[in-house]
Structure 1
Amino acid sequence: MPQFAVLIYADESLHAVDAAKDELEENDQHAKDLLASGTMSLAYALTPRASAVSIRRDSTDAGPFVQADQFVAGFYVLDAPDLTAAVAIARLNPAVRTRTGGVEVRPVHSGGITADNK
């Protein structure tokens, strides 16, 4: 089945090291729902952008690669029959209901390399 990456955009990641369980509840429930439906094959929440390190040809700098109001706070991979179905599933993400957040859905071209199958 085709795979689709869902990039979650937000003002800031909720997944700080000291985030309270109730702050993560809605996002965690969304992930549980996707797992139960069999449509999500992997997911990662990223820590806040202050912990990022950006690497370019001539420099290594503290902070995110791109300075923007919204940034990628996390991502997951969906298994869906087509882009229309993937968009319908991604529309359920809690970030879509926020004033400034949202998601981007992109077909996965290739990959899936892990330590177990190299």
Structure 2
Amino acid sequence: MTSTASIPIAHLRQLDATSALGVHLPDGRELLLVRVHGNVSAFENRCPHQDLSLQVEADVFLEAGGELIQCAMHGALFLPDTGECVFGPCQGRHLTPVAISIDAEGDIQLAGE
């Protein structure tokens, strides 16, 4: 497996104060970067309900209010800081978190790999 720990996977300027971005890693994984109220989190782009991608359209991960991550297939809603499902068929389960770091220049990198 190729290490991506020191390779930037995105930059903060790609995320507004409240937005989300899909990222494809060289090792084949798909991630979701989400920024709500300035806080950035990363998760594997897989719904715990049926192991499907969360979005149907590129980079459309948030519900209409922009506060929660939404699975486009089943309507499940997840908290953007913890990935906990708070509504839908996988309520109580979580998205798989991915550790990231953000350097002084705003580059977002995988942490601890």
TM-score (norm 2): 0.26
Based on CA coordinates, which of the two structures has the bigger radius of gyration? 1
Higher helix share: 1
Q: Which has the higher contact order (CA 8 A, sep 6+)?
A: 1
